[in-house]
């Protein structure tokens, strides 16, 4: 039988199950087997891996993962697709599908219950564009015992997540992702590889989870809060952005002293600071701001 990720098979599955694409769920199904095989290869999936997949759709990527992995746990929010997946993935006894929104899943508990000690866990997914960032941030901030996250997403979002300082794409999202992982765009995917075609091209981003965050911060929540505030208005200086964000907690004189103590020029813009510089600034801030 042809792979799921072909135009003819995808159309046949859609017709057999009387399916239509749900724009509200960002459903664009891949119809290029080579791309899917590449994703699985880049993710370095093998028979020792447990893979968590988000949004399997009709099972095109799931099928390719199942050929290599020990087991695939796929989470699908669209109830219409559960019967479809039972049909399309019936040849694979190493796939378990859950009808659940991944944002509602306690993944820490899930992994404890379904993964044996010593087994490698990887996340591999073609993420719905409308909810890419919340899903990724949940995966990262939950401090899961995951080796890597290999995901397809909108090309522009992948560029932001992997951007370096002094780059127009660099921002609070870049810092959040790189704090927890090493990030790299490993492949671009043209919109012609999907049905229906989205309006944008895609990219595959590989995130290798760090054993420890890239920088040491005294207060993680404050660190990310300060980073966010520093990019509040990109064209404004750090001093102006932070003065505006913390006007109720810190006066101008104290703020000047914080910059001096952290050895950060207050006239710089957020996009020029490395993760290390933000960490230094946040750790000094932590001495002057009360956070529970």
Binding region for S-adenosyl-L-methionine: 28, 30, 55, 76, 101, 126
The dihedral over CA atoms of 242, 245, 250, 252, expressed in degrees to the nearest 10, equals: 50
Half-sphere exposure of 85 (CA within 13 A, CB side): 27
At residue 123, what are phi and psi to the nearest 5 degrees? -105, 130
Rounded Cα distance, 103 and 114, in Å = 18
CA-based torsion, 27, 30, 35, 39: positive or negative: positive
Half-sphere exposure of 279 (CA within 13 A, CB side): 13
Rounded Cα distance, 26 and 77, in Å = 11
Tokens 């989205």 found at: 198
Rounded Cα distance, 97 and 126, in Å = 15
Rounded Cα distance, 78 and 55, in Å = 9
* Continuous H helices in the chain: 7-16, 33-42, 60-66, 80-88, 107-114, 132-141, 155-161, 172-180, 220-230, 238-245, 252-262, 275-288
Rounded Cα distance, 91 and 63, in Å = 9
The dihedral over CA atoms of 127, 133, 134, 135, expressed in degrees to the nearest 10, equals: 30
Nearest to 45 by CA among 66, 30, 14: 66
User: Binding site: which residues?
Assistant: 28, 30, 55, 76, 101, 126
């Amino acid at each position: 039988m042809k792979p799921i990720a072909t135009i003819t098979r995808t159309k046949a599955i859609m017709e057999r199950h009387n399916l239509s694409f749900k724009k509200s769920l960002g459903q664009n199904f891949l119809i290029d087997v080579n791309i899917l095989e590449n994703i699985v290869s880049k993710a370095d999936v093998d028979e020792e891996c447990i893979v968590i997949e988000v949004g399997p759709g009709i099972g095109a990527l799931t099928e390719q993962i199942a050929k290599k992995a020990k087991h695939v746990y796929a989470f699908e929010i669209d109830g219409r697709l559960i019967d479809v997946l039972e049909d399309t993935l019936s040849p694979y006894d190493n796939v378990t599908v859950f009808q659940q929104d991944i944002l509602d899943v306690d993944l820490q508990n899930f992994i404890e219950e379904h993964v044996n000690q010593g087994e490698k866990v990887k996340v591999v997914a073609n993420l719905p564009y409308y909810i890419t960032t919340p899903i990724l941030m949940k995966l990262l901030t939950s401090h899961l015992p995951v080796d890597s996250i290999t995901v397809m997403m909108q090309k522009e979002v992948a560029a932001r997540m992997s951007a370096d300082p002094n780059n127009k794409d660099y921002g609070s999202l870049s810092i959040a992702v790189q704090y927890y992982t090493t990030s790299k765009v490993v492949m671009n995917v043209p919109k012609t590889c999907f049905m229906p075609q989205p309006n944008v091209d895609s990219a595959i981003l590989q995130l290798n989870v760090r054993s420890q965050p890239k920088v040491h911060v005294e207060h993680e929540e404050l660190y990310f809060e300060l980073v966010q505030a520093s990019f509040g208005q990109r064209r404004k200086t750090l001093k102006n952005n932070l003065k505006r964000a913390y006007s109720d907690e810190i006066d101008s004189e104290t703020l000047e002293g914080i910059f001096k103590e952290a050895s950060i020029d207050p006239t710089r813009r957020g996009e020029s600071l490395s993760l290390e510089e933000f960490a230094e600034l946040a750790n000094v801030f932590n001495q002057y701001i009360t956070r529970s």
